[in-house]
Amino acid sequence: MRQATYHIVDEPTRGPLERVVVNPLWPFLALMVAGSLVGGTWLALNAFAMGSATRRREVAALVAILVGMLVLIVGISVLHRAEVFPTWTLPYVRIGVRVARMLPAYFVFTWQSRSFALFTYVGGEVRNGLWFLLAIFFLSTSALVESGPIARFLFAL
């Protein structure tokens, strides 16, 4: 008997991390809540765990987000110290930084959502990421309240 030769090109590949796959919405929300370092790492882990066909592109975009945030934060700090930005504009600048982080992250989310749909279609088991997201939220909030500028910088990434 011949084996079927039909193959979905974007079909996720099975791997040892398959047990930690969550809906990409949860890491995307973590990126909003706790920054690119935590949320981006979770998105990258999720891409490799589900065997996403676009995982290299996703990781490249996530690395670009981290590098871009680092450059933006340092650049804005330098410009603020040089008094290019008046103090009253800083809340608006922060919104711009968040938008600059969220736009590429949204693309990663949509790429990963396609692979996630195929992953669930072929019978992959999905975990609930809500509890991890809540833990990230409360840890990041308490860390920001009780910490110094280094922790605030890391959560700003």
pLDDT tens across 21-66, in order?
A: 999 999 999 998 888 888 999 999 999 999 888 999 999 999 999 9
Residue 105 neighbours by CB distance under 10 Å: 21
106 within domain boundaries: yes
Render the chain in DSSP notation, one character per residue: -PPP----TTPPPP-TTGGG-B-THHHHHHHHHH-HHHHHHHHHHHHHHHT-TTHHHHHHHHHHHHHHHHHHHHHHHHHHHTTSS-GGGHHHHHHHHHHHHHHHHHHHHHHHHHHHHHHHHTT---B--HHHHHHHHHHHHHHHHH--HHHHHHHH-
Domains in the chain: how many in total? 1
1 within domain boundaries: no
Nearest to 24 by CA among 48, 47, 7, 54: 47
15 within domain boundaries: no
140 within domain boundaries: yes
Higher per-residue confidence, 17 vs 107: 107
12 within domain boundaries: no
pLDDT at 43: 94
pTM of this structure: 0.80
100 within domain boundaries: yes
Whole domain around residue 57: which residue ranges? 22-156
The residue type found at 40 is G
13 within domain boundaries: no
